[in-house]
């Protein structure tokens, strides 16, 4: 299938750019004569400094993303920098970045990223794919700068399901070209389809193994997907999964962006890949994820970071295998650690 995306939302703090262009007011110490004159004028109504301007209160429910600008609260001028490195998978790193972002937002600190050594970089790092977040420059002056990364985040507080869902909305903002590709894929598939995510590769094999292999037959048995002629979009890192689903569901129409040559995704291979191959791999991951989120029903693996991203991004229509018990016990105000595999 070919490529897909939505225009990035207007940033709620663009108004600060207008305010920064207003004239700077300078006040001189008053002489006694001037102070006496002031007393006689105190009851006289003053003309507005900027005629025609009215103050507007922003709604309390408006999101307040951390900004890459100086924060004035409490006289503090602090920043949080999250380092995107090459030591973990995409969504594992993404969730911990969300945690650092929420910390900065909660404290009123500026938030930046350092993506100079990110393993998914093609040319522009994070901004190869996204329009959100700003890079940190050493020339920027702050009273203190706190740095966090994938392995170094234990000192950060934990946050709720609702807070992570909001962070996803504010951070996971794809460039228009990718949202266009997602939309094109969804149009080609049709208005109604079931989405299925299956992870293979180093998640179930080798030194980075984190979970036991579930056969495709076992996975399908834990879902409500039946051989009833429906359309199924399959996101997977192993084309063999598509072959197995088609064999089990011969009347169903399968759609996928997985190449027939792909037989499992491995982190070491991503680290050593060419920039062009990294871009190709990351585009497939992001576009497939966007198409999954457009499914009428989503079945995904709760043991995978990608699966937990599906759940938090589309909470109500995402179902989980091998068990849904963990998320069924949660409310929107429950504390969650989406980068950790939950107890099943």
Residue 45 has pLDDT above 60, yes or no: no
Q: Which domains are assigned to the chain?
A: 177-336 (3.40.50)
Q: Give the residue, 64 or 14, on which the prediction is more confident.
A: 64
The first and second tokens of residue 268, run together, are: 């070491």
Alpha carbon of 35 to those of 42, 236, 299: distances in Å?
Answer: 10, 76, 74
Residue 33 has pLDDT above 50, yes or no: no
pLDDT computed for residue 210 by the predictor:
87
Alpha carbons 88 and 86: distance in angstroms, whole number: 6
pLDDT computed for residue 205 by the predictor:
87
Count the neighbouring beta carbons within 10 Å of the beta carbon of residue 2.
9
DSSP run (H or E) holding 339: none
DSSP run (H or E) holding 260: none
Nearest residue to 198 via CA among 152, 156, 158, 256: 256
Alpha helices in the chain (DSSP H): 15-19, 32-41, 90-107, 161-171, 176-189, 216-221, 239-248, 267-272, 275-293, 305-313, 325-328
Q: What is the pLDDT of residues 91-112, one digit of tens each?
A: 999 999 999 999 999 999 999 9
Percentage of residues in the chain having pLDDT higher than 70: 78
Q: What is the pLDDT of residues 231-279, one digit of tens each?
A: 999 999 999 999 999 999 999 999 999 999 999 988 888 889 999 999 9
Counting Cα atoms < 13 Å in the Cβ hemisphere of 185 gives 32
**Three-state secondary structure call for residue 107:** helix
Q: Report residue 1's pLDDT band, with 50, 70 and 90 as the boundaries.
A: low
Residue 49 has pLDDT above 80, yes or no: no
Phi, psi of 189 (to 5 degrees): -70, -40
Highest mean pLDDT among 61-65, 84-88, 178-182: 178-182
Nearest residue to 100 via CA among 91, 108, 111, 114: 111
Taking all residues of the chain, what is their mean pLDDT, rounded to a whole number?
Answer: 83
Residue 4 has pLDDT above 90, yes or no: no
Q: What is the pLDDT of residues 174-231, one digit of tens each?
A: 999 999 999 999 999 998 999 999 999 988 888 888 899 999 999 999 999 999 999 9
Q: Report residue 24's pLDDT band, with 50, 70 and 90 as the boundaries.
A: very low
Task: Supply the pTM of this predicted model.
Answer: 0.78
Q: Give the residue, 336 or 74, on which the prediction is more confident.
A: 336
Q: Which of 21-25, 144-148, 230-234, 291-295 has the lowest mean pLDDT?
A: 21-25
């Amino acid at each position: 299938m070919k490529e897909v995306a939505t225009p990035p939302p207007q940033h709620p703090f663009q108004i600060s750019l207008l305010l920064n262009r207003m004239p700077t007011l300078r006040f001189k110490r008053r002489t006694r004569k001037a102070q006496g004159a002031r007393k006689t004028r105190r009851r006289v109504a003053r003309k507005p400094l900027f005629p025609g301007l009215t103050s507007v209160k922003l709604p309390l429910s408006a999101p307040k993303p951390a900004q890459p600008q100086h924060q004035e609260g409490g006289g503090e001028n602090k920043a949080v920098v999250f380092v995107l490195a090459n030591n973990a998978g995409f969504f594992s790193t993404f969730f911990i970045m969300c945690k650092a972002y929420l910390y900065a937002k909660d404290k009123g600190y500026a938030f930046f990223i350092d993506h100079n050594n990110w393993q998914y970089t093609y040319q522009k790092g994070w901004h190869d794919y996204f329009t959100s977040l700003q890079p940190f420059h050493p020339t920027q002056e702050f009273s203190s700068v706190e740095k966090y990364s994938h392995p170094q985040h234990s000192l950060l507080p934990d946050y709720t399901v609702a807070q992570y869902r909001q962070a996803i909305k504010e951070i996971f903002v794809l460039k228009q070209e990718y949202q266009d590709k997602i939309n094109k894929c969804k149009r080609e598939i049709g208005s109604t389809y079931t989405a299925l995510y299956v992870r293979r590769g180093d998640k179930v094999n080798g030194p980075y193994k984190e979970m036991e292999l579930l056969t495709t037959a076992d996975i399908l048995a834990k879902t409500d997907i039946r051989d009833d002629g429906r359309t199924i979009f399959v996101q997977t890192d192993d084309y063999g999964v598509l072959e197995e689903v088609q064999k089990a569901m011969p009347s169903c129409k399968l759609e996928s962006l997985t190449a027939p040559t792909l037989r499992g995704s491995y982190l070491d291979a991503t680290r050593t890949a060419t920039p062009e191959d990294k871009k190709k791999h990351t585009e497939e991951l992001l576009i497939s994820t966007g198409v999954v989120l457009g499914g009428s029903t989503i079945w995904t693996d709760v043991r995978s970071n990608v699966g937990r991203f599906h759940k938090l991004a589309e909470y109500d229509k995402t179902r989980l295998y091998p068990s849904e018990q963990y998320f069924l016990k949660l409310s929107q105000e429950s504390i969650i650690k989406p980068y950790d595999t939950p107890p099943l």
